[in-house]
Structure 1
Amino acid sequence: MKVRVTVMLKEGVLDPQGKAIGHALQTLNFPGVGDVRVGKIIELDVDGTDRAAVEKQAEAMARDLLANLVIEDFSVKVVA
């Protein structure tokens, strides 16, 4: 099964990469862009047929390795 883990900085955590992208968009004449936040998407192919079990396994992977829970939140979605 294909699983998509989305990792984003928590609200209130400074995002210098997002600030740089927001500034660059303004410089390139894309006005009206508000706050920009940068995250990452990790796609995993996980063996299994039980959707709930695969989702639970991916959540464990995200908690243990893929996300820094001090400054990041994550979401998990089985996509195929």
Structure 2
Amino acid sequence: MFLAQVHVTYKPSILDPQAVAIKNAMHRLNFTTVDAVTQGKYFELTLDVDSAEQAQAQAEAICDQLLANPNMETYRYDVKELAQS
């Protein structure tokens, strides 16, 4: 079993109004050293496959086909083997 931890965010060229609102709120709360904010989505996928290579291939396919909009978003993931119980 493997765990894929997936982070999806907007591409740098895409305006992220929620992140802009968060940054503005931080500045109103006197966190004025914050220069930029990126917000996104986080997913954990438990994959019942035999190898790390299979887990990476599955995570990649799931991200491309479902979790991220490739026109607007980018993603990254880490795959870890889960301890056997």
TM-score category, normalised to shorter length = over 0.9
C-alpha RMSD of the superposition: 0.9
Q: How does 1:1-80 map to 2 (within 5 A)?
A: 1-80=2-81
- 5+ residue gaps, structure 1, are none
Of structures 1 and 2, the larger Rg is shown by 2
Following TM superposition, the consecutive aligned residue runs of length 4 or more in structure 1 with deviations greater than 3 angstroms are none
TM-score by length of 2: 0.88
Q: 1:75 and 1:18 mapped to 2: Cα distance?
A: 19
Please give the TM-score of this superposition, normalised by the length of structure 1: 0.94
Q: How many residues align?
A: 80
